[in-house]
Structure 1
């Protein structure tokens, strides 16, 4: 879950590397470092902590050279420290390596190398790689890379520079994301596309078991094991550079919250036909017979994407009457799931590189299921390996706490549910028309919520000193409350839990005392009376309740301390609206506490290790 960057070209690389690392800090920020080849030797600067510490170091003691690699770390093996920072080198500083992933058999390799006289200075798994290069190198870097990777088990994206080859930069991929940026008289490697957009929009996506050899004016892709050359077309990125910048917002998270109407509109474009009142997915190659053959759907995801899947379950089951299971990817892969050729498996991942979700995809295909991916990143591992793909159009999401990726995933489930129902003729024309009209209105309704967010900010500031916050809801409201709770805990560090409101009497009420903040979602008319009863129960114990309800529904008014109304829509569509105030509560609470909103402690954006 670290970020790596590399550059070879005609420019001085130090500032290019640090600029790239700034765009990759969302992947980890425990420590940071760079290595630069000056034509004769490889020189390293690294430090525990954020990028500004490294920039201070290289400002005082610059590194000259036009070839280099950089790394920003999310710690897995060894605490954050100078010694555990990347790049790692061998004892003679002949090889410098940056690594994203986990070397599962590193202890075995480390023991063997120590017995051969090698000395280690870090606690990391990654340091074994630099010493392995020293051990196997015989004058041929490609052969050395092949020997090294034969010994490695696990996940790795590697960037490598060598004292012996001052005019080359090497990259290797196995189960961790890595792209190659192809520029004019310069080439780059990176864990993610935004870090190279300043220099090029033309990229190669490395696949597992592939490596790249780069000079300033050439890129050669090879199969790692055989050394056979690979011919591949360049992929052109169509992101606007401004999409990856803050555009005047204080934080990326706030910018991305306000970008949700635009991202939802883009995700609808070409799919939601308001004239014909149909949902169309030209990118899906399913036949009607194939869709009607599925007797079960399994949604597999992690974190926020899992919460989107819970909404997907409600939507697809209601619209198609196909039973849907939702599973955490890290649990799915370690049991024996009951899936076969009559199962549609839907994997959901913002980055398209989530390790557990990718493993679940492969396991499902092995068991005969058809796999659909919902992801935000074209060319990602999950997008490439799935049988079918629905690309969300959120654009690059930089803040660790996901917002616009989540809502575009949820929207994708609504569109998919309608699409599947069309093949089964499950919905009345009148209800389908209402759904499509309701979905089309969502972006403007979100803009309306965002325009009236001052009350939400006041509420967030009022709970910043709470020891615990609880979220309650029923049906889809409970699914949304799980996401609201996750957002609050991950960026404010306040203990937060979400419960089905009907479970209050089964233990949760013991936690409610005078002044306990509770956010209650009450948008489902079919259970509104039950929900009011639950609100009365917590109020009787002294809770301070914020109620979120549909505009015009005044039943809640007399029973809560504060109210946030969302625009009127169909009950099934409310999750796309109720999540907006929950995102803002998390953002403004974190802001009031003085936290780093975009980079919460201990977390990284893309979880590419188990």
Structure 2
């Protein structure tokens, strides 16, 4: 994921910026750069590749100044090259940016129509150009910055410096993380506290919509209406230095990272500039494939269930789905028109690896979806599709699951286009919908206070049901798994239509029933099933389209995730289920990151 650094100080800041960029390298990147203000001008150095390449470049082409910004980039718009690397400098303004500007096309078209010439292919340059226009209209830097970012849609963190102001930095965030630290001699802003921990003991976390202005080591924070506000500073804890970034548990940290990691998972396979699929990422002959056999375990198996739904309904490809531990003990009907797809976070899951080897023994070509590229499953595969979730430490998978779905969605779009199941225009529409996923996840995270309250109705229960249909049926299974993994409450996921075939016998006033009912073709049927539960006094929590006149008189808990889109629904709806499991487990004082009897990588059969 992209990393942002900004430093203003009484001395030269170039070495400190490079030091911080090295600390941000764990987030992943394909280019790096810095920009420094000195003597009334902005000097820029950027390069494709590692921070060490940038460091060597600067040794041979030194720059210095008391205020600067730095960036490690993971490409979302435009190729990973020097021109597209950050910072992006236009005249007297230079910025770095993390996130995706969703209305990039509309803004760029408007600017081009007004005679603006673009240097790069990035969405970031849009921001530089917008701020520059405001400066040319004689606005002061803060006003120019505010007016420019008010036009942006999406999740982002931005930091800017100005050539006419040697020690001025302005920054803001919506969705993407941004923190700052103030010491006697310098002010530092960063994407995370971990990268700047060596410079001090206290950091302040900006909230969405906040704007920070630092000049001559004096800091002001404003809200969207430019009212001055204060944010509390926090001592950098051992949790931050250990990589928790201030969160109590890795699971919560990883839940909150999903807008960022999904941006990069999706942008690895999809071009959000031209709304095209990056076909080179799928270097495999799929031309004669008529059937895909998917195999996985646990959460990855539920990702496979979603994959089956998408592949059959969007790409018109027949799918067989197998639990990996059962795979090699069954009579499998392999043929030359089938391939095997294996899904594993670690790439080392023993049952999945054994199933893969069994498939290869039967002359099957193998595609794998993994988080760890250097792994046994990767090494045995003909095509590896990394999910780019970054290291996941919490045993209960969160961001790896949604990144698996994002990667699968990209594969499905590629195959659907290859097979002629969807048109070019439909592909563009799907990609535009997928581009909104990071901001939609941000919106779903805003329901955390509501989910905390709902958790209090559930944590004393001995059992729970999760029900769904279509692409949310796998989410019902996944939600139940999350709850039982970390809270130790028995939970079961079932198809909504199967309620009356047995499970409804369990329903009484003590049984929590989580109903997954998004605005899709199953919505009315899901409401009907929910009413069956309500009539039997079940404790209902509905996640989906809650704002409905048919529900206004029902005493139910509601989390209003009102989204549409075949790809978007299961990805977004995973997040409230993760939060629900987390807060129930926290109320029960469980070991959330390391639940009993479980391991992150299951390397025995």
TM-score (norm 1): 0.58
* Root-mean-square deviation over aligned CA pairs: 1.8
Aligned equivalent of 1:602:
597
Asked whether 1:247 is paired with 2:245, we answer yes
| Alignment counterpart, residue 528 of structure 1, candidates 481, 498, 523 | 523
- Count of residue pairs the alignment pairs up: 367
Aligned equivalent of 2:310:
315
Aligned equivalent of 1:581:
576
| Partners of 2:417 and 2:427 within 8 A in 1 | no
Structure 1 residues 326 and 602: CA distance shift in structure 2, 3 A: same
In structure 1, list runs of 5 or more residues that go unmatched: 1-240
Aligned equivalent of 2:374:
379
How much does 1:449 deviate?
1.3
| Alignment counterpart, residue 401 of structure 1, candidates 382, 396, 408 | 396
| Partners of 2:447 and 2:559 within 8 A in 1 | no
Asked whether 1:519 is paired with 2:517, we answer no
How much does 1:553 deviate?
5.0
Question: 1:239-275: CA deviations, max 9, x gaps?
Answer: xx98971110000000000011111111112321123
How much does 1:567 deviate?
4.4
In structure 2, list runs of 5 or more residues that go unmatched: 1-238
In structure 2, C-alpha distance between the alignment counterparts of 1:340 and 1:265, rounded to whole Å: 36
Structure 1 counterpart SS, 2:343: strand
| Partners of 2:240 and 2:247 within 8 A in 1 | no
Question: 1:172-226: CA deviations, max 9, x gaps?
Answer: xxxxxxxxxxxxxxxxxxxxxxxxxxxxxxxxxxxxxxxxxxxxxxxxxxxxxxx
Structure 1 counterpart SS, 2:314: helix
Larger mean CA deviation between 457-466 and 481-490 belongs to 457-466
| Partners of 2:347 and 2:371 within 8 A in 1 | yes
Structure 1 residues 484 and 468: CA distance shift in structure 2, 3 A: same
Question: 1:147-178: CA deviations, max 9, x gaps?
Answer: xxxxxxxxxxxxxxxxxxxxxxxxxxxxxxxx
How much does 1:320 deviate?
1.2
| Partners of 2:513 and 2:540 within 8 A in 1 | yes
Superposed counterparts of 1:39-438, under 5 Å: 245-287=243-285, 291-438=286-433
| Partners of 1:546 and 1:560 within 8 A in 2 | no
In structure 2, C-alpha distance between the alignment counterparts of 1:431 and 1:547, rounded to whole Å: 31
Structure 1 residues 523 and 316: CA distance shift in structure 2, 3 A: same
Aligned equivalent of 1:439:
434
| Alignment counterpart, residue 484 of structure 2, candidates 484, 489, 500 | 489
Aligned equivalent of 2:545:
550
In structure 1, C-alpha distance between the alignment counterparts of 2:409 and 2:452, rounded to whole Å: 30
Structure 1 counterpart SS, 2:395: coil
| Partners of 2:303 and 2:401 within 8 A in 1 | yes
How much does 1:475 deviate?
0.9
Structure 1 residues 497 and 249: CA distance shift in structure 2, 3 A: same
In structure 1, C-alpha distance between the alignment counterparts of 2:425 and 2:587, rounded to whole Å: 46
How much does 1:437 deviate?
0.8
How much does 1:429 deviate?
3.5
| Partners of 1:466 and 1:494 within 8 A in 2 | yes
TM-score (norm 2): 0.59
Question: 1:16-61: CA deviations, max 9, x gaps?
Answer: xxxxxxxxxxxxxxxxxxxxxxxxxxxxxxxxxxxxxxxxxxxxxx
Structure 1 counterpart SS, 2:467: strand
Structure 1 counterpart SS, 2:540: strand
Structure 2 counterpart SS, 1:346: strand
Question: 1:121-170: CA deviations, max 9, x gaps?
Answer: xxxxxxxxxxxxxxxxxxxxxxxxxxxxxxxxxxxxxxxxxxxxxxxxxx
Structure 1 residues 244 and 409: CA distance shift in structure 2, 3 A: farther
Structure 2 counterpart SS, 1:374: strand
Aligned equivalent of 1:464:
459
In structure 1, C-alpha distance between the alignment counterparts of 2:521 and 2:241, rounded to whole Å: 41
Aligned equivalent of 1:81:
none
How much does 1:593 deviate?
0.3
In structure 1, C-alpha distance between the alignment counterparts of 2:327 and 2:554, rounded to whole Å: 41
In structure 2, C-alpha distance between the alignment counterparts of 1:571 and 1:268, rounded to whole Å: 16
| Partners of 1:302 and 1:349 within 8 A in 2 | yes
Asked whether 1:569 is paired with 2:567, we answer no
In structure 1, C-alpha distance between the alignment counterparts of 2:440 and 2:488, rounded to whole Å: 30
In structure 2, C-alpha distance between the alignment counterparts of 1:572 and 1:422, rounded to whole Å: 15
Question: 1:443-486: CA deviations, max 9, x gaps?
Answer: 11101111331001111122100011100111111111100000
How much does 1:282 deviate?
2.2
Structure 1 residues 256 and 492: CA distance shift in structure 2, 3 A: same
In structure 1, C-alpha distance between the alignment counterparts of 2:564 and 2:272, rounded to whole Å: 17
Structure 1 residues 591 and 607: CA distance shift in structure 2, 3 A: same
